[in-house]
Amino acid sequence: MTESISNSKKGRMTRSRIMWCLFFLSALIRIVALLDLSLHDIGFKYPLVDELTNVDQARAFLKDGPGAGTPFWKPPGYPAFLAVVGFLTGDLGPSGQGVPLHYAWIVKVLQALLDSLATVLLARMAWDWAGRRAALLTGSLHSISWMSIFNCGQFLDTTLFSFFIVLAVALASRELYSRREVDRQTSTSFEFQWLAIGFITGCASITRAVALPLSLIFAILAIRHWRESPRRWNILAAYVFGLILTLSPVMSLNRWIGNDTVTISSNGGINLYIGNRQGEGIGSDGLTSVAAGPRWDDLLEKTAHLEKPSQRSAHYVSLTLQEIQENPGAWIKRLGLKAMALVSARDVPNNKNLVEETQRSWILKSLSWLPGSSGGLISLAIFGAWRLRRELLTKALPLVLTIVVLGGLTWLFFIAGRYRVPLLALGCVLAGAGLFRTALNWKDGALFLFIATVVHGIPVPSDSLMASYCIDPVAIGYVHEQRQETTIAEDWYLRSLAQDPDDVRALNLLGNLAQNRSEIAVAKKYFEQATTTDPNHAPSWNSLGTLLVIENGPEALRCVRRAVEIDPLYTNAWINLGQLLESQRMYPGALDAYQRARRQEPNNNLIILLETRVRLARNELRQAARLLRKISVDPPEPALRELRARLTQELDTQTNIVESPSEQGADPLTPTQP
């Protein structure tokens, strides 16, 4: 008996050591990859497209509280995570810009650690199913899963969502298969365990809404497993309460602050339409999301007549069903294309060009040739599922159902590389346990070779799509411009124009580059083309106005006025309008423009100083002094420090002039009456 207990403890220690080794292996690979990405990834601290949406929502949370952005367009779970990190680390900078480098590192290291914990959870599931060797194989495969590693370095919900999914499946599997029957009769912890499962499933749902159907799946599993126990309703109530803890705050914010009935987020309708609509151009293949810019604006126009996000989402669903009914054959063909992409070895690009990313990073390039590549993991998972087919419904039902539900929803919407990451993670369990149960004979070898050949031979997405397509060339060009790589930035802007000649963002940015090179005629041509293409593009009107200041003052004023008419929240345009009016001594209008800009950015030192300058020009000394006191610390920019010093000196001079010895008892900032 003593020897048995000793062996049991030794087994537990061995298991614990193995799990720690897998955690450190997974974390080490991810940290090394982050070091490499920090050198080569142009977006390491400059969020791109969806990444920028997440970071800007986090900035909104930090500025305006949890009700900011309601009703939520995207699920708020991941931006909330970013906001918590930002609250602990400091200011994230202005919207639309990059983040501080230290913040980027903290977020991405945390994501690497979460993904390493997922490695351990996957290995534990494999251990409970098939033993130690299966756990080692599973953990090792996920440790080198290159798409998981790549996404640890992005400001995307992929890593957080995958962790929640893996944790929920691991907890459910443990409760359903790893408890002895005697424990089921005597233990009082099951309600708490199912509460945790509900809570984690809710966390996954508010991170990516496709997890919401899993809440029903897990509830059915709980009722089915406990159907003969008098505790079944307690278990179900605990599970539902866990869900409510996470879902109800989001629903309440949407309802009471956002004044809409959106459950979690309102982007589901347009995503369904993107993946199932008719068309043959870029972004209408059912494989990728739509690039920001004119194509995205065209989609938004379809619901511009509707007021509420929930109404717009529902309208996209009705448009989808309408197009399917009009041409069911084309829709079935598109489903077949997406089905092939779902199990293809090639990861569909999203946000970035994965081919170029891999070529820049030797870590990613090396990992793409190992079994942890998407093609390798998919082949091994399919092979493992076949080998374990007789055990799947008796030993891995939560795992199988989760893969089926998430895979089906990904197929129904659209396929992008990052949406397959949680499927690949769960597939590591099938791969590891399946490999352990494999007999080393020619039949198994031939079967695996056949599966791998088919997976790697699927020509979806095409080579041309993989080599040249990214979700938004303008966003990548803008990041290069922020990195002072203007030649590369210009190439990306021109690539966007080649895809869509009406991309006003590219035209505007090309004009800015030309203006910075003092090629005024070229810049003017780009700006005028942008305003002609889209008369409601405020940045182009603002850029054209600033360009025409010397050449044609009245026309410059008209252009900038047009910019603020189109977008009343356009801070830079209000600043430019104020400076134009101030230069023409139209002080009331200039003061109004600066005040409108300051409402948008109350702590912007430039706006405060410009308004101070107008106040001094109007002899409003008290207001000027109050504004200067708002800047308690010297601005870091030399030009602003110089302007502040000059305005302070001017204020002192005017105050001394106003004062007189006979009025020493009066307010020194009150002008003398004539």
Q: What whole-number distance in Å separates Cα of residue 274 and Cα of residue 314?
A: 14
pLDDT at 3 over 80: no
3-state class (DSSP) for residue 19: helix
- Both tokens of 251, joined, read 């629903």
Tell me the whole-structure pTM to 2 decimals: 0.87
Q: What whole-number distance in Å separates Cα of residue 593 and Cα of residue 568?
A: 10
Tell me what the mean pLDDT of segment 500-518 comes to. 93
Tell me what the mean pLDDT of segment 294-316 comes to. 90
Tell me what the mean pLDDT of segment 411-437 comes to. 94
Element (H, E) at 297: helix 294-301
pLDDT at 664 over 60: no
Q: What whole-number distance in Å separates Cα of residue 509 and Cα of residue 474?
A: 9
Beta pairing partners, 352: 350
Backbone phi and psi for residue 551, each to the nearest 5 degrees, phi listed first:
-75, -40
The most confident of the ranges 170-184, 316-330, 660-674 is 316-330
DSSP sequence for 499-537: H-TT-HHHHHHHHHHHHHTT-HHHHHHHHHHHHHH-TT-
Contact 345, 378 (CB under 8 A): yes
Longest dimension (CA), the chain: 110
Please, what is the angle between helix 101-130 and helix 132-143, to 10°? Answer: 160
pLDDT at 76 over 90: yes
Percent of the chain scoring above 90 in pLDDT? 67
- Both tokens of 339, joined, read 């089905």
Q: Looking at residue 672, what is its pLDDT? A: 33
pLDDT at 183 over 70: no
Contact 70, 254 (CB under 8 A): yes
Please give the angle made by the CA atoms of 92, 95 and 99, to the nearest 5 degrees.
Answer: 35
Gyration radius of the chain over CA positions:
30
Tell me what the mean pLDDT of segment 82-102 comes to. 92
pLDDT at 195 over 70: yes
Q: Looking at residue 470, what is its pLDDT? A: 61
Q: State the first-to-last Cα distance of the chain, in angstroms, to the nearest integer.
A: 107
Q: Looking at residue 674, what is its pLDDT? A: 32
Q: What whole-number distance in Å separates Cα of residue 547 and Cα of residue 526?
A: 11
- Both tokens of 36, joined, read 């490499």
Pick the closest to residue 106 from 128, 139, 83 (CA basis).
Answer: 83
Contact 286, 338 (CB under 8 A): yes
Judge residue 645's burial from the number of C-beta atoms within 10 Å of its C-beta, 0-12 exposed, 13-18 middle, 19 or more buried. Answer: exposed
The dihedral region occupied by 400, where left means phi > 0, alpha psi between -120 and 50, and beta the remainder, is alpha
DSSP sequence for 348-378: PPBSB-HHHHHHH-HHHHHHTTSTTSHHHHH
Q: Looking at residue 633, what is its pLDDT? A: 78
* Residues 138-165: tens digit of each pLDDT: 999 999 999 999 999 999 999 999 999 9
* Residues 256-286: tens digit of each pLDDT: 999 999 999 999 999 999 899 887 665 667 7
Q: What whole-number distance in Å separates Cα of residue 141 and Cα of residue 138?
A: 5
Q: What whole-number distance in Å separates Cα of residue 282 and Cα of residue 496?
A: 12
Q: How many other C-beta atoms can be found within 10 angstroms of the C-beta atom of residue 231?
A: 14
* Residues 10-30: tens digit of each pLDDT: 555 588 999 999 999 999 999
